[in-house]
Amino acid sequence: MAPAVFNEMYDGGKVRPPYRQLEDWTADMPAALRSLKQKEAEALFRRIGITFAVYGEGGDPDRLIPFDMFPRVFTAAEWTRLERGIKQRARALNAFLMDVYGRGEIVRAGRIPGRLVYRNEAYEKAVAGFVPPRGVYSHIVGIDLVRTGPDEFFVLEDNCRTPSGVSYMLENREIMMRMFPALFQENRIAPVDSYPDLLRRTLTSVAPAKCDRDPTIAILTPGHFNSAYYEHSFLADLMGVELVEGQDLFVEGGLVYMRTTQGPQRVDVIYRRIDDAFLDPLCFRPDSALGVPGLMDAYRSGGVTICSAPGAGVADDKAIYTYVPEMIRFYLGEAPILQNVPTWQCGRDEDLGHVLDNLPELVVKEVHGSGGYGMLVGPKSTREQIAAFADRIKANPSNYIAQPTLALSTVPTFVDEGVAPRHVDLRPYCLVGERVELVPGGLTRVALTEGSLVVNSSQGGGVKDTWVLAE
C-alpha cells in the first residue's frame, strides 16, 4: 500500500493554520482572473528576462520556468527548526572539506571510507593542504529538502559547488508582491530581499590574505549561453559588482586583475559560476577557454579568494551524502537535526543486491548526476526502463545510489482544471563566511505533472513563492 501523502494546506479536510488566509483568496479568484494573473506573471518574467536553457534541446533557447501563483507557507516555528538544521549541516560540510584537504581525520578514524573521498572525481589534489580564508570551502550551500508529514523533513541532497535558483526565489517574491499586494498586507511574511546584501557581506568577509583594503568582488560567468546566465547578471546587478568572463581577467605577480576602460583593476574575491575543470587551463583542463591562466597559483598564494572553493564538490557527492549525519557527530559533537533519506550505495555488494531486487519501488540516481538526469523513478517506470537501468547499474555499481520513493508532501497548485495538489521540494540557500546565515525562505520547486515526483526545471518542473510567516 502506498504511504499517505501529506497535504500541507489540508489536514483531514480542515485548513491548516498557516494557510487559512489563502483559502478565501483562492475561493474568491474566478478562473478568468486566475488566467489573467497567470499571463501577467509570465509577461513579467519575460520582460525581466528570467529564462533558462536546457542543453542539448532545440526549441526556445530562452524558456520560462513555469511559475505557480499559489504560495507555499511555513510557520515561524517550522522555519526555526529548518534553519537550525540547515546551518548545522553547512558547518559540518565545511568542516569535512577542511579536514579531507588537510589531515583527513574522519578517514583515519574509519568514519568514512577513504576511497569515496580520495578517488572521487570531485576531489581536487591541486588544493590539498591549502587553507582558504576563514577555513571556508563552500560559501553558498543549497540544501534540498523534502517533507513527508507535519514534522517530518528530510535532506534529499547537498549542493556545495554553485547551487542555482536563488534569482527565482527573489523574483517569485517580487512578482507576487506586485500582483497581490493585499495578500502581503493581510499576512506577516518574512522578507527575503536581504539576500544580495548578505551574499555580498559573506563574500567580503572571506577576502584573501593579500587584500589590504575593501575587497573588489566579481562574478565569473561562462557567458550568456550558460543556462543560468540570467542569475549571474541578476546577482551582479543587485550586489553592485562586476560580471566578468575569463577573458576579462588576467594574473600578474600572484594577483588577479580585471580589464576595464580605465586600465587594470585588481579583483580580490571571485564568485565563480563555472565548474572546477574550466577555472584554470594551466591547472585543470588545458583546452578551457572559460577560465583564467594562473588563477590557481594566485589562489594558493593568497592573492584571490574563489567562492566556492575548487574541490568543494567532493562534499555534495551523493555517495558522500550518506555520511553527513556522521560528519555532524564527528566534527560538531551534535545529533543531526535534519535526517537523510535512507540510502543504499550500489558499490556495496549487500546494497547492490537489495537495489536490484527492489528497483520497481526505488529511486536510483547517479552519484555525480544533477538536474533530474540519469535517474530512475521505479514506481513511474516501465518494466523495459527498469530492466535497461538495471544493466547500467550492473555495469558500474559504484556510480549509483538508491533511495526509497518518499511520499513527498503536496501544496495546492493552479492547474488547467482549477486547484490541485502537486509534489514539492525546497532549496534554501545558506551563506557561510564570517557568519553562517540564510534568509527565511528558499526556492520551492513543484512537479506540475500530476503524480510526478521530479521537480527539476529541466524536467518540466515549476517554481513557487515560499513564505515564512513572521512571529
Query: Which residue from 440, 446, 439 is spatially nearest to 463, judged by alpha carbons?
Result: 446
* φ, ψ for residue 288, nearest 5 deg: -70, 125
Does residue 359 or residue 416 have the better pLDDT?
359
Alpha helices (H) in 101-165, listed in sequence order: 105-108, 114-118
The pLDDT score that the predictor gives to residue 367 is 85
Which of the four pLDDT bands, split at 50, 70 and 90, describes residue 59?
A: very low
Which helix (H) or strand (E) is 373 found in, with range?
none
> Rounded mean pLDDT of 19-28?
90
Does residue 204 or residue 65 have the better pLDDT?
204
Q: Which three cell numbers stand for residue 117?
A: 573521498
Whether the CB-CB separation of 61 and 102 falls below 8 Å is answered with no
Handedness of CA 288, 293, 297, 299 (dihedral sign): negative
Average pLDDT of the residues of the chain:
92
Amino acid letter, residue 231: E
The pLDDT score that the predictor gives to residue 290 is 95
pLDDT higher than 80, residue 61: no
Whether the CB-CB separation of 364 and 351 falls below 8 Å is answered with no
Give the β-pairing of 344-345 and 400-404.
antiparallel
> Rounded mean pLDDT of 164-188?
93
Please return the burial class of 287, using the count of CB atoms within 10 Å of its CB with bins 0-12, 13-18 and 19+. exposed
The pLDDT score that the predictor gives to residue 63 is 67
pLDDT higher than 70, residue 173: yes
pLDDT higher than 70, residue 73: yes
Alpha helices (H) in 283-348, listed in sequence order: 295-300, 324-327
* Digit-coded pLDDT (tens) for 264-288: 999 999 999 999 999 999 999 999 9
> Rounded mean pLDDT of 228-232?
92
Whether the CB-CB separation of 420 and 450 falls below 8 Å is answered with yes
Q: Which of 30-39, 48-57, 95-104 has the highest mean pLDDT?
A: 95-104
pTM score over 0.75: yes
Percent of the chain with pLDDT over 90: 78
> Rounded mean pLDDT of 120-141?
96
Whether the CB-CB separation of 64 and 282 falls below 8 Å is answered with no
The pLDDT score that the predictor gives to residue 330 is 98
The pLDDT score that the predictor gives to residue 369 is 66
Map out the domains of the chain with their CATH numbers. 10-208+304-339+406-468 (no CATH), 209-303 (3.40.50.11290), 342-404 (3.30.1490.270)
Lowest-pLDDT range, 13-27, 237-251, 271-285, 318-332?
A: 13-27
The pLDDT score that the predictor gives to residue 257 is 98
> Rounded mean pLDDT of 386-406?
92
> Rounded mean pLDDT of 424-441?
97
> Which residue spans within 139-267 are E strands per DSSP?
140-147, 153-159, 217-220, 242-244, 249-252, 255-258, 265-267
* Digit-coded pLDDT (tens) for 135-164: 999 999 999 999 999 999 999 999 999 999
Which of the four pLDDT bands, split at 50, 70 and 90, describes residue 458?
A: low
The pLDDT score that the predictor gives to residue 425 is 96
pLDDT higher than 90, residue 55: no
Task: Please count the other Cβ atoms lying within 10 Å of the Cβ belonging to residue 106.
Answer: 20
* Digit-coded pLDDT (tens) for 282-309: 999 999 999 999 999 999 999 999 999 9
